[in-house]
Structure 1
């Protein structure tokens, strides 16, 4: 499994637009074989940071999903929310592999 971590710098005055953008992308990831773990939005402290986490079974599966960017009308419409609203000032994407807790084993 590969997990994509997207760190956003957002315009806090446009949080509603960012939420519309995020809801669209959550649905697209799920529809195209990924698992979206959600967007994490500002609550307290720094008000211009947001994070998204989603996973695909493999990098190859992620690349199939990425091939739809700029081509599939639903992907274009989701990006249009970001572009027209200006809710995202910049973002960085990192790929990580999860290390999950062992279930049922005691440490030691």
Structure 2
């Protein structure tokens, strides 16, 4: 088990018509992560690029879709992250959130990536 900080990126596909519900979902998980030892860096949603902002490496890069939201949060180490997972499963707010959003999530899919800082 690593004692280095662990950052998680969660990338969601969202529906613009469910944005208010996604915001409520985001606020819930920010509170839960911070309550149980993590630092939440926020949720970010896609927006239009500035006019004239092309990609740097033509043929390799492309603009992403406008239906993306990203969450970033960090825990001090693997053990703290695993304790958070256990704690949120018995936290009344975590139980409520899983019941509320498990049946009808405000996103169509998500993927997560665990990250470490490049040194």
User: Shared topology, TM-score over 0.5?
Assistant: yes
Structure with greater Cα Rg: 2
- Tell whether the 8 Å contact from 1:41 to 1:50 is kept in structure 2 after alignment: yes
Query: Secondary structure at 1:28's aligned position in 2?
Result: helix
Q: Residue 115 of structure 2 corresponds to which residue in structure 1?
A: 96
Q: Residue 48 of structure 1 corresponds to which residue in structure 2?
A: 67
| Structure 2: gaps (5+ residues) | 49-63
**Count of residues in correspondence between the two structures:** 100
Q: Which structure has more strand as a fraction of its residues?
A: 1
Task: Supply the distance in 1 between the matched residues of 2:77 and 2:103 (Cα, whole angstroms).
Answer: 32
Structure 1 runs, 4 residues or longer, greater than 4 Å off:
none
RMSD: 1.9
Matched, 1:33 2:37: yes
| Structure 1: gaps (5+ residues) | 101-108
Using the size of structure 1 for normalisation, the TM-score is 0.81
Task: Supply the distance in 2 between the matched residues of 1:37 and 1:60 (Cα, whole angstroms).
Answer: 20
